[in-house]
């Protein structure tokens, strides 16, 4: 009897273990996702360094080197069917913000066909000539549970996946 109980107990234990490997979890997503992901070198700006005029000439930086290089922040704007979906300031990565720009955004979108516009531009700066990058505009099909990936290439080209 004790052996039978043991076998039954062992059977229940193992069955529980086997069942635990088959616990279904999660739901099929009803929405689609617009994923924006890229990494690019942003524009640089040269900020002049104010030099002390009282310094002797040999201690001053040559005029063509008297500046600091800073990376520009960018503005990311996403419009879905003309309505703004995301507006975000993208700062260059790194503690000193001197690393390339990285973007990873996931936006839930209702399934169907939508007009998507993405703008990725340097933040306007006073007195700096803008080198405007072309944005993305297009009609995209969003299936439930599917991801539309938009990436930005260094040269200002946009790429869609799948």
Partner 1 sequence: MIPRKPKLSRLLGSWLAPWERLVSWFFGPDYNPTYQSGVLAVYLLALVVASGLPLLFFYKVGAPYESVQWVQGQWALGWLRGLHRYASDAAVVAVFFHALRMLQGGRTSGPRRRAWLSGLALLGLMIFIGVLGLVMVWDEQGEKLAVQGIQFLAGLPFFSEPPGRIFADNQALGESFFFMLIFLHVALPLVLVFLFLAHTSRTARARYWPERHLVRAYGWGLAGLALCLPVPLAAPADLLRLPGRVYLDPWYGFWLPAAEKLGTGGTLLALGLLLLGLGSLPWWWAVDGPGRAQASVVDESSCTGCTQCVQDCPYDAIEMVKRTHLLDGRHSPLVALVNSDLCVSCGLCAASCAPMGVGPPQRTGRDQLRAAEQFASTRDWREGDVVLLACRWGSGEHPGWSAIPGIHCYPTGCCGSIHTSVLELFLRKGAAGVFVLTCPERDCSQREGPKWLRLRVYEDREAELQARVDRRRVRLFACPGVEVERARRELLAFRQELLKDPAGQSLPEGELRCRSSEVQDGQT
What residues make contact with partner 1 under the rule CB under 8 A?
2, 5-6, 8-10, 12-14, 17-18, 20-29, 32-33, 35, 37, 39, 93-95, 99-100, 102, 104, 145-147, 149, 151, 161-162
Q: What is the distance between the alpha carbons of residues 36 and 130, in angstroms, rounded to a whole number?
A: 23
Which residues have C-beta within 8 Å of that of residue 104, sequence separation ≥ 6? 35, 36, 37
How open is the CA angle 120-126-130, to the nearest 5 degrees?
Answer: 40
Nearer to partner 1, 66 or 110 (CB): 110
Nearer to partner 1, 32 or 79 (CB): 32
CB 49 within 8 A of CB 59: no
Nearer to partner 1, 9 or 84 (CB): 9
At residue 98, the 3 state secondary structure works out as coil
Helix (H) or strand (E) holding 88: strand 83-90
Q: What's the min distance (Å) between Cβ of 133 and partner 1?
A: 20
Nearer to partner 1, 57 or 95 (CB): 95
Q: What's the min distance (Å) between Cβ of 62 and partner 1?
A: 32
Q: What's the min distance (Å) between Cβ of 16 and partner 1?
A: 9
Helix (H) or strand (E) holding 8: helix 2-20
Q: What is the distance between the alpha carbons of residues 87 and 68, in angstroms, rounded to a whole number?
A: 29
Nearer to partner 1, 13 or 49 (CB): 13
Q: What's the min distance (Å) between Cβ of 24 and partner 1?
A: 5
Q: What's the min distance (Å) between Cβ of 71 and partner 1?
A: 12
């Amino acid at each position: 009897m004790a052996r039978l109980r043991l076998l039954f107990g062992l059977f229940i234990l193992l069955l529980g273990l086997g069942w635990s490997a088959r616990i279904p979890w999660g739901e099929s997503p009803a929405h689609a996702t617009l994923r924006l992901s890229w990494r690019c070198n942003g524009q640089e700006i040269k900020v002049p360094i104010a030099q002390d005029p009282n310094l002797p000439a040999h201690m001053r930086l040559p005029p063509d080197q008297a500046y600091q290089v800073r990376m520009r922040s960018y503005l990311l704007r996403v419009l879905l069917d003309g309505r703004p979906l995301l507006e975000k300031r993208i700062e260059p990565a790194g503690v000193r913000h001197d690393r390339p720009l990285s973007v990873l955004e996931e936006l839930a979108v209702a399934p169907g066909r939508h007009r998507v516009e993405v703008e990725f531009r340097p933040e306007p700066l006073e007195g700096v000539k803008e080198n405007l990058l072309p944005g993305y505009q297009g009609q995209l099909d969003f299936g439930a549970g599917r991801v539309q990936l938009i990436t930005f290439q260094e040269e200002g080209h946009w790429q869609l996946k799948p």
